[in-house]
A and B are shown apart, each in its own frame.
Chain A
Amino acid sequence: KAGVTQTPRYLIKTRGQQVTLSCSPISGHRSVSWYQQTPGQGLQFLFEYFSETQRNKGNFPGRFSGRQFSNSRSEMNVSTLELGDSALYLCASSLAVGGGRFFGPGTRLTVL
């Protein structure tokens, strides 16, 4: 069974630009969560989608948004990029709430 895939793996953007990251969950998994990892703040929850609906959202500004498609694939978008948005963005998929959450390899975003 294929694992969680994330594209692209690396991304370099400049301040003010916007970026879209993609996540394909494990086949059959309907929940997708996003996390941001930085050296200063550690791993922080961004949001979770289940059956195309956002179920939960972390404490991030409105510049961070996401969506989920009918095939459970998810995208997250960050608009008006800031230097502080440089991070590893990790996507996790699970069958249901509380399930073992399996993470993808992450997208490393660098904002210059």
Chain B
Amino acid sequence: AQKVTQAQTEISVVEKEDVTLDCVYETRDTTYYLFWYKQPPSGELVFLIRRNSFDEQNEISGRYSWNFQKSTSSFNFTITASQVVDSAVYFCALMETSGSRLTFGEGTQLTVNP
């Protein structure tokens, strides 16, 4: 069975600080996809990134970066120079290619204070 763990329930930072959200996953599949989503108070899940298990290259998109380490089954997400608009709940999710469902972590509530 697949499982995603986001150990940090809540994180609070001051604007312009860097913050890393942790994600650890479990799967028996050798091929899978990892996702990050942002959920602002409006409720919609905003897609941030999808990573294929074969691609361990780190990715940077503006202030966002992702560190995928297969050896430790982790897919961490870093926001550089955080802004108040980054305040939201962030979800990490796993999809095994043998199936089609997303398994979500519990989410991390990020609050960025001015």
Contact = CB atoms under 8 A, between A and B. Distances in A.
16 contacts: A31-B100, A42-B106, A42-B107, A43-B93, A48-B100, A55-B100, A98-B95, A98-B100, A100-B47, A100-B50, A103-B45, A103-B47, A104-B44, A105-B44, A106-B43, A106-B44
Interface of B: 33, 35, 37, 42-47, 50, 91, 93, 95, 97, 99-104, 106-107
Chain A interface size band reads 20 to 34
Given A103-B44, A106-B43, A97 B35 contact: no
Contact of B100 (A33, A90, A100, A106): A33
A14 interface: no
Nearest to B104: A43
A93 B44 CA distance: 13
Contacts of B100: 31, 33, 48, 50, 55-56, 97-98
| Chain A interface mostly | strand
Contacts of B93: 43
A29 B65 CA distance: 28
A48 B44 CA distance: 19
A101 B102 contact: yes
A35 B97 contact: no
B97 A97 contact: yes
Interface of A: 31, 33, 35, 42-43, 45, 48, 50, 55-56, 58, 88, 90, 92, 97-106, 108
Contacts of A105: 42-44
Contact of B101 (A45, A88, A106, A108): A45
Contact of B33 (A42, A92, A98, A104): A98
Given A97-B97, A98-B95, A103-B37, A108 B102 contact: no
A108 B43 CA distance: 9
A108 B42 CA distance: 11
Contacts of B103: 45
Nearest to B98: A97
A42 B50 contact: no
A33 B43 contact: no
